[in-house]
Amino acid sequence: MKISYNHLSRAFTKKISIEDMSTKLFQLGHEHTVEDEIFDIEFTPNRGDCLSLLGLSRDLGIFYDKNKNFISTFNEPIEKFNLNFVNEIKENCPKITFLNIEISGQISEYKDYLNDYFVDLNIKKNNFFTDVSNYLSYEMGQPTHCYDYEKINNNLTLKVNNEASKFKTITGQEINILEGELVFTSDGKVVNLAGVMGGENSACNNQTKNVVVECAFFKPEAIIGKTLKYNLISDAAYKFERGTDHDCHEKVLRRFIKIVNEHTSIKKLEISYFGSEITDQTQIQFS
């Protein structure tokens, strides 16, 4: 994974040289190369918690004082979102949250932290909501997906695909989703290969003003192998395969709101929670 030294430096109170930060990363076991002030880090599969600025800064926090204002969030109450959602595969996705956010007016030029993400890492911009979603995954490690609200008719179902379905991804790639795969549907049509990639038929564009943001926890075994199977490149799947934080949804979506609010006016804001708290049943005995 590529992480910018300059972006990571914002997480700490004092200036840290790239050489010192590199040394500390090696001490933590994060082998990497450095080119043009970009760390290219190879994380072991069990360290999915480090696949973000937040996660990596948490590791480095043992050496440096953290900037408490590194990631700020929206803190006001949010109304309930009455989304017609059905989850038929709770065993594979036990927890999922949806945010409905509608904006009005023009979108301002991207703030430095958002613009630098695209410039420094040479990433192509798409549209405002997708850009925020992509940046958020980089910053906090939790993938989110944005649906154009007008294209899903206020209904989503998470289910097992009961027959093969032709599907055009958000990147324009046409695939044939096989029977038995986990998918999101709206009005009976597949709109998302769950945990991997959304579809062109529900995607946001530069005219989108009203979105539904999906923030889910998928069990890694439900996502592993899907990108290879369908020849897709998916940052979301890469992170879901390695495990994401099932307790982060509230903070992530409130961070999403904060970023949007820094660039435009918010007209409507609603949120809905599905599933229950997940408890770790693993117990370690000490003698």
Whether the per-residue pLDDT at 273 is higher than 70: the answer is yes
What is the model's pLDDT at position 93? 97
Q: What is the pLDDT of residue 285?
A: 64
pLDDT > 70 in the chain, percent: 97
Indicate the pLDDT class of residue 233, thresholds 50, 70 and 90. Answer: very high
The residues with which 273 forms a beta bridge, in sequence order, are 97
Residue pair 15/9 in contact (Cβ under 8 Å)? The answer is: yes
Beta-strand pair 79-80/84-87: unpaired
Task: Give the burial class of 266: count Cβ atoms within 10 A of its Cβ; 0-12 exposed, 13-18 middle, 19 or more buried.
Answer: middle
Specify the pLDDT at position 278.
74
Is the Cβ–Cβ distance between 190 and 161 less than 8 Å?
Answer: yes
Alpha carbons 148 and 91: distance in angstroms, whole number: 27
Tell me the pLDDT band of 277, cut-offs 50, 70 and 90.
confident
Q: What is the pLDDT of residue 280?
A: 62
> Measured between alpha carbons, how far is 270 from 268 in angstroms, rounded to an integer?
7
Q: With 80 as the cut, is the pLDDT of residue 174 above it?
A: yes
Counting residues of the chain whose pLDDT is more than 90, the rounded percentage is 95
Q: How confident is the model at residue 284 (pLDDT cuts 50, 70, 90)?
A: low
The predicted model gives 93-115 an average pLDDT of 97
Name the residue among 177, 195, 198 with its Cα closest to residue 186.
198
Cβ distance 223 to 241 under 8 Å? yes
Task: Sort 203 into a burial class: Cβ within 10 Å, 0-12 / 13-18 / 19+.
Answer: buried
pLDDT the model gives residue 134? 98
pLDDT at 196 over 70: yes
Tens digit of each residue's pLDDT (9 = 90 or more) over 136-149:
999 999 999 999 99
